């Protein structure tokens, strides 16, 4: 079955620690995205990538970093510079930019 | 003015009711109009999408787009308790990178 796999499902971060969230897709989609979802708020775009080895900042990129070395993979690192990292993180992909996106089941990040 | 407006609800209906969910938007360049369903602690699931204008039907679900009014709707017929979820509308334009999401409407269908 084609889809998007995010891992881990739950993640805890200590102060000063960087953590990496995994996102893998087997839909053969070119574009991939990372969103943050906070209670009562809509989805906010962190980073997006339209092709391998290229990515762009979204609306709230500060304190986050990404890489896109393979078409199938788009990991997100939450750095210690992100002072309020507790949120539900969602990865998505689409055939190309602007087309309907498909989502993974998210990673919930909390602070220890 | 927000690019998309969606009533957060909650909307509570009895089982079997017809549900109407709506969004208004401001950018006339949008071409894709999507509806997502999100259960608690899960990612949004793409329910339906329409390209340009018009209606689309899939089982109990009907999506409508009125570009002249910048208004989109999702109708759910014969609603079931399993339809209880948050429904997000979304819009984008071809070749763009940004999809605009509504904040979501929380729906409760009572048995």
Structure confidence by residue, pLDDT tens digits, B47-60: 999 998 889 999 99
> Which residue from A42, A101, A104 is facing B102, i.e. has the nearest CB?
A42
How much of chain B is helix, strand and coil, in % rounded to 5? 5, 55, 45
Strand bridging mode A107-111 / A10-13: parallel
Q: Please list every residue in chain A whose beta carbon sits closer than 8 Å to the beta carbon of residue B43.
A: 4, 6, 90, 92, 103-106
Distance from C-alpha of B83 to C-alpha of B97, rounded to nearest angstrom: 30
Closest-approach residue (CA) in chain A for B6: A42
What mean pLDDT do residues B44-72 have?
A: 94
Q: Say which DSSP state A101 is in.
A: P
Distance from C-alpha of B59 to C-alpha of B86, rounded to nearest angstrom: 19
Q: How far is B18 from chain A (nearest CA, A)?
A: 25
pLDDT confidence band for A1 (50 / 70 / 90)? low
pLDDT confidence band for A61 (50 / 70 / 90)? very high
Q: Please list every residue in chain B whose beta carbon sits closer than 8 Å to the beta carbon of residue A96.
A: 95
Beta carbons of A45 and B98 less than 8 Å apart: yes
What mean pLDDT do residues B71-93 have?
A: 96
What's phi and psi for B103, nearest 5 deg?
Answer: -75, -15
A97 closest CA partner among B96, B93, B30: B96
Q: Please list every residue in chain A whose beta carbon sits closer than 8 Å to the beta carbon of residue B93.
A: 98
- Tell me if chain A has a CB within 8 Å of the CB of B46: yes
């Amino acid at each position: 079955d084609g889809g998007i796999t995010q891992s881990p499902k739950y993640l805890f971060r200590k102060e000063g620690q960087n953590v990496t969230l995994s996102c893998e897709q087997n839909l053969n989609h070119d574009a991939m995205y990372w969103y943050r979802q906070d209670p009562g708020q809509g989805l906010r775009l962190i980073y997006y990538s339209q092709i391998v080895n290229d990515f762009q900042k979204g609306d709230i990129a500060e304190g986050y970093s990404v890489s896109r070395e393979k078409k199938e993979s788009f990991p997100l690192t939450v750095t210690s510079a992100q002072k309020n990292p507790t949120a539900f993180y969602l990865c998505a992909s689409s055939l190309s930019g602007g087309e309907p996106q498909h989502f993974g089941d998210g990673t919930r990040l909390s602070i220890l | 003015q927000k690019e998309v407006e969606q009533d957060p609800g909650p909307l509570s209906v009895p089982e079997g009711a017809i549900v109407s969910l709506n969004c208004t938007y401001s950018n006339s360049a949008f071409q894709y109009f999507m509806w997502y369903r999100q259960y608690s602690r899960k990612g949004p699931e793409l329910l339906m999408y329409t390209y340009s204008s018009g209606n689309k039907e899939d089982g109990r679900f009907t999506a409508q787009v009125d570009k002249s009014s910048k208004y989109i709707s999702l109708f759910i017929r014969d609603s079931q308790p399993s339809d209880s979820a948050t429904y997000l509308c979304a819009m984008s334009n071809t070749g763009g990178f940004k999809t605009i999401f509504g904040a979501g409407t929380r729906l409760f269908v009572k048995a």
